[in-house]
Amino acid sequence: MIARRHDRPSRFLLIAGSVDAVLGSVTLHLPLLILGVALMGTGVALRLRRPQRAIAYPAIPLHPAAPPS
């Protein structure tokens, strides 16, 4: 569920950008085509961005400390 929530902006930008780019190319409207390609690029960048994982340290050490010598 969480993964789908983070995927929504990229999916929206990819779909909106592709529709916008197709409309721009069919109507020969260059600014619309450029905007569509930019939206698709933003969607791809969001999709390729890797989520940063939090570094989890164990609360209890896995190996006991060596006894003092």
DSSP-assigned letters across all residues of 13-47: HHHHHHHHHHHHHHTT-HHHHHHHHHHHHHHHHHH
63: helix, coil or strand? coil
For tokens 């529709």, what's the residue? 19
pLDDT in tens, 57-66: 656 666 666 7
pTM above 0.85, yes or no: no
Q: Examine residue 68 and state whether it is found in any structural domain, yes or no.
A: no
Q: Examine residue 55 and state whether it is found in any structural domain, yes or no.
A: no
CB-CB neighbours of 36 under 10 Å: 21
Q: Examine residue 28 and state whether it is found in any structural domain, yes or no.
A: yes
Phi-psi region of 35 (alpha: psi -120 to 50; beta: other; left: phi over 0): alpha
Range of the domain at 18: 2-48
Q: Examine residue 32 and state whether it is found in any structural domain, yes or no.
A: yes
Q: Examine residue 11 and state whether it is found in any structural domain, yes or no.
A: yes
pLDDT in tens, 21-64: 999 999 999 999 999 999 999 998 888 886 666 666 656 666 66
